[in-house]
């Protein structure tokens, strides 16, 4: 029955704005929201807290299989603790990017991600939502932006949350993450077949959200 539940996938590189756009689209439509990247960040954070080595693929996969997490009104909860800001820290993001290349870990998180597909619909953002997790999605978006634009967004985001940040380091980190995510053997970062490529380098959040809503409306009309 789940195949009849509409899904909008929004994939793209780090700091492209996909999370903000996906969350607003989900809110507008009254759909559930899945921040798949947060699952890797949560695994990395949990591993750090439990003393699990980030190179121990088996233990990381086991940890991910029983990850007690949920999303509620824009907040990320781990064991009912609000860790929204903690999972956005740069060190957690770097750790998440490193462990995301591990096949066993990715496989362990598949069922958890698929379980978010519930009525009335789902908006899922990440890197392989349209290519691997929801290949039958109603609408697929690949949201991207220049490295410079993404670094500026991440810098502003970190400063606003009280974290220290350096533009040169952010550009370097994002470039390295793009290369790592695109080159990994399992579920590499790339546009899904049939995905609409949306470059938000010079686009406001409001326009990006409206563009996704318009594309979804057209896709949903064709399905019906």
Residue 12 marked in a binding site: yes
Indicate the angle between helix axes 57-65 and 36-50, nearest 10 degrees: 120
Residue spans of the domains in the chain: they are 2-219
Kindly state which CATH superfamily the domain 2-219 is placed in: P-loop containing nucleotide triphosphate hydrolases (3.40.50.300)
Per-residue model confidence as pLDDT tens digits over 184-198: 877 888 999 999 999
Residue 208 marked in a binding site: no
Cα 185–71–211 angle (5° rounding)?
70
Residue 211 marked in a binding site: no
Residue 93 marked in a binding site: no
Residue 144 marked in a binding site: no
b vs e for 26-55, b when ≥16 Cβ sit within 10 Å of the residue's Cβ?
beebebbbbbbbbbbbbbbbbbeeeebebe
Residue 14 marked in a binding site: yes
Per-residue model confidence as pLDDT tens digits over 113-156: 998 999 999 999 999 999 999 999 999 999 999 999 999 998 99
Give the gyration radius of the chain's Cα atoms.
17
Per-residue model confidence as pLDDT tens digits over 6-41: 999 999 998 899 999 999 999 999 999 999 989 999
What residues have CB less than 8 Å from 29, skipping those under 6 apart?
Answer: 120, 121, 123, 213, 216
């Amino acid at each position: 029955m789940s195949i009849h539940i509409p899904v909008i996938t929004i994939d793209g590189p780090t700091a492209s704005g996909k999370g903000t756009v996906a969350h607003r689209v989900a809110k507008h439509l009254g759909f559930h929201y899945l921040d798949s990247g947060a699952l890797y960040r949560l695994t990395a954070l949990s591993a750090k807290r439990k003393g699990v080595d980030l190179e121990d693929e088996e233990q990381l996969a086991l940890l991910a299989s029983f990850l007690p997490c949920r999303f509620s009104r824009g907040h990320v909860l781990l064991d009912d603790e609000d860790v929204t800001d903690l999972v956005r820290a740069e060190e957690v993001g770097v750790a998440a990017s490193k462990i995301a290349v591990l096949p066993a870990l990715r496989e362990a998180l598949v069922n958890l991600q698929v379980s978010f597909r519930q009525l009335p619909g789902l908006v899922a953002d990440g890197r392989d939502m349209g290519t691997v997790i929801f290949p039958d999605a109603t609408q697929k978006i690949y949201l991207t932006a220049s490295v410079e634009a993404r670094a500026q967004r991440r810098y502003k985001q970190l400063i606003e949350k009280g974290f220290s940040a350096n533009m040169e380091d952010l550009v370097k980190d994002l470039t390295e993450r793009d290369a790592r995510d695109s080159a990994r053997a399992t579920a590499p970062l790339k546009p899904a077949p049939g995905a609409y490529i949306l470059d938000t380098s010079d686009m406001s959040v409001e326009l990006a959200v409206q563009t996704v809503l318009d594309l979804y409306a057209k896709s949903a009309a064709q399905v019906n």
